[in-house]
């Protein structure tokens, strides 16, 4: 698992803290960033093993992986 390396990753990771699956648009509204930017950083965080990704049709949903929650502190 790779660490969070910049402020954008940290903001997106912290906004995706809902235990249920969270849509990119919801994260975008929480932190006031463009949905394309959120989607990019969610993909990066998923590749690092910090977020889980679920695809439902055209929607991508994210949530923390169990190990990722510990890194938030």
pLDDT digits (tens, 9 = 90+) for 3-13: 999 999 999 99
Q: Above 60 in pLDDT, residue 72? A: no
- Looking at 3.40.50.300, 1.10.10.10, 2.40.50.1020, 3.40.50.150, the CATH number of the domain 7-71 comes to 1.10.10.10
Q: Where do the structural domains in the chain lie, given as residue ranges?
A: 7-71
pTM for the model stands at 0.85
Residue 5, Cβ density class (10 Å: 0-12 exposed, 13-18 middle, ≥19 buried): exposed
pLDDT digits (tens, 9 = 90+) for 17-70: 888 899 999 999 999 999 999 999 999 999 999 999 999 999 999 999 876 554
């Amino acid at each position: 698992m790779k660490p969070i390396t910049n402020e954008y990753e940290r903001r997106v990771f912290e906004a995706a803290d809902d235990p249920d699956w969270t849509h990119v648009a919801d994260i975008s509204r929480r932190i006031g960033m463009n949905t394309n930017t959120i989607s990019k950083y969610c993909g990066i965080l998923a590749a690092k093993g910090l977020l889980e990704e679920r695809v439902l049709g055209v929607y991508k949903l994210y949530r923390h992986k169990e190990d990722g929650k510990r890194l938030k502190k």
